[in-house]
């Protein structure tokens, strides 16, 4: 049994993927902070309970068998739903991205990602010790 088959490790892996996808969206927001008309995006908050309730062993993918087929995409290509930000502050460029707010989100996201990776690493070390293997 691999670590990916243990529900807790699968959830932590999914949480790390969510943070990576969110970092990508936040960096796009920062890069386009002065782009006229740009609307910032963010991911729906990750919920472990929802993740575990929707966990399925079946995986469905699509394949284009003809170059004329339309590609199916979930929006970010990572399986997470992005959403437009509701911004009450409009910048002079006409967009709703506030650079300071986005940088705070980036910092918070990095800290949360580091916390999950630390928890994952320590959990693996604990399992290895329990199995009698050197940590």
pLDDT digits (tens, 9 = 90+) for 41-69: 888 888 877 766 766 544 545 566 666 65
> For the chain, how many structural domains are there in total?
1
Asked, for residue 133, whether it belongs to a domain, the answer is no
Say if pTM beats, i.e. exceeds, 0.75: no
CB 86 within 8 A of CB 13: no
Asked, for residue 34, whether it belongs to a domain, the answer is yes
Q: Give the domain range for residue 28.
A: 3-128
Sequence length of the chain is: 135
C-alpha distance from residue 44 to each of 25, 57, 128 (Å): 12, 23, 34
* Model confidence pLDDT, tens digit, residues 96-119: 788 889 999 999 999 999 999 999
| Interatomic CA distance for residues 115 and 135, integer angstroms | 20
């Amino acid at each position: 049994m691999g670590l990916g088959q243990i529900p807790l490790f699968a959830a932590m892996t999914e949480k790390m993927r969510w943070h990576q996808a969110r970092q990508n969206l936040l960096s796009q927001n920062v890069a386009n902070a002065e782009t006229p008309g740009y609307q910032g995006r963010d991911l729906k908050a990750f919920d472990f309970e929802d993740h575990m309730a929707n966990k399925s062993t079946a995986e469905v993918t699509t394949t284009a068998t003809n170059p004329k087929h339309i590609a199916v995409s979930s929006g970010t290509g990572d399986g997470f739903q992005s959403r437009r930000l509701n911004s009450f502050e409009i910048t002079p460029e006409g967009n709703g991205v506030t650079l300071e707010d986005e940088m705070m989100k980036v910092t918070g996201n990095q800290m949360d990602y580091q916390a999950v990776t630390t928890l994952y690493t320590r959990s693996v070390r604990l399992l290895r010790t329990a199995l009698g293997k050197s940590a």
